[in-house]
Structure 1
Amino acid sequence: MHWLQMQSWSPYVVGAAMGVLSWFTFLLSDKYLSCSTTYARLSGMVERRLRGSVVEQKAFYRKTPLIVDWQFMFVIGIFIGAFLSAFLSDSLHLEMVPELWRQHFGDTPVLRFLVAFAGGVLMGIGSRWADGCTSGHAISGALQLAISSWIAVVFLFASGVIVAQLMY
């Protein structure tokens, strides 16, 4: 079980494992791996708590009901798995401002939070416009040879490289 304590794994092994997981997900449930719908549902659940059942009348939530389903549990599992991985590899620590950010932009946690929040909002909008998130397109869509997913993956990587070059 030494491999569970490693701080980094081979991206090739992890990529292959994710592909096999996708195969089994299709085989056993006829569903594909993705996450962004869960975040949209979660925001709808929060809004429903604040505004009542009127939220369920929105077009998106009529098509995508506010339920806790397998995908919701999958996302919770991602958080639990990330925590366990960091804990078992002895790399778990809280860090408000990562070292690379600190070197380039200073150690202000408020700026880091605002940029992360803005990035999250943009990612959420983008995943709804693209009708899927990175995992939905790059893993599941590419596995199905969907042209739209391959186009999305090209732009995801290209924009990631451009933004990283601009920021760092």
Structure 2
Amino acid sequence: MYNRRGMPMNPYLAGSLAGALSVLSTWFTGKYFGASTSFVRSAGFVEKIFSPEKVAQMPYFMKEIPQIDWQFMFVIGIFLGSLVSSLFTKTYRVQWVPITWR
């Protein structure tokens, strides 16, 4: 991740800010700040389009109805925010495998 000057951002600062945001979101809303549940709900939402009967029979989705909620919008925001950031800092590139993993 890079800042506006094209310099790498400090991972310790980013981690500290993410931790502070997590504490504040729990304190003010009583809900944990995260995105893991939205991946399951997104899969159920997409599967519901193709096979609603199968989703209706799954025990998890009997309690949790797949829908677009704030966590789903959070995941969309992560994607769009990172795209805008990479375009703004001119670091955007399409690659299948990151350089560090080669």
Which residue number in structure 2 is paired with residue 17 of structure 1? 17
TM-score, normalised to structure 1, is 0.53
SS at match of 1:93: coil
**Contact 1:5–1:85 (CA<8 Å) still a contact in 2?**
no
Counterparts of 2:65 and 2:7 in 1: how far apart (Å)?
A: 38
Q: Give structure 1 stretches of 5+ with no counterpart.
A: 103-168
TM-score, normalised to structure 2, is 0.82
Counterparts of 1:6 and 1:60 in 2: how far apart (Å)?
A: 44
Counterparts of 1:23 and 1:4 in 2: how far apart (Å)?
A: 27
Question: Cα deviations across residues 24-71 of structure 1 (Å, max 9, x unaligned)?
Answer: 211332111221211111111111111124413311112222011111
Counterparts of 2:16 and 2:68 in 1: how far apart (Å)?
A: 28
RMSD of the alignment, in Å?
1.9
Counterparts of 2:99 and 2:6 in 1: how far apart (Å)?
A: 21
Counterparts of 1:16 and 1:99 in 2: how far apart (Å)?
A: 26
Q: 1:19 to 1:59 in 2, by over 3 A?
A: same
Q: Give structure 2 stretches of 5+ with no counterpart.
A: none
Which residue number in structure 2 is paired with residue 36 of structure 1? 36
Counterparts of 1:62 and 1:20 in 2: how far apart (Å)?
A: 34
Matched residue pairs, number?
100
Which residue number in structure 2 is paired with residue 73 of structure 1? 73
Pairwise CA distance, 1:80: 1.2
Percent identity reads 34
Counterparts of 2:7 and 2:82 in 1: how far apart (Å)?
A: 11
Going by fraction, where is helix more abundant, 1 or 2? 1
Question: Cα deviations across residues 69-100 of structure 1 (Å, max 9, x unaligned)?
Answer: 11111111111111122112210011134334
Counterparts of 1:8 and 1:31 in 2: how far apart (Å)?
A: 31
Counterparts of 1:79 and 1:72 in 2: how far apart (Å)?
A: 11
Which residue number in structure 2 is paired with residue 61 of structure 1? 61
Q: 1:15 to 1:101 in 2, by over 3 A?
A: closer
Which residue number in structure 2 is paired with residue 84 of structure 1? 84
Which portions of structure 1, spanning 4 or more consecutive aligned residues, are displaced by more than 4 angstroms? none
Matches within 5 A, 1:3-152: 3-102=3-102
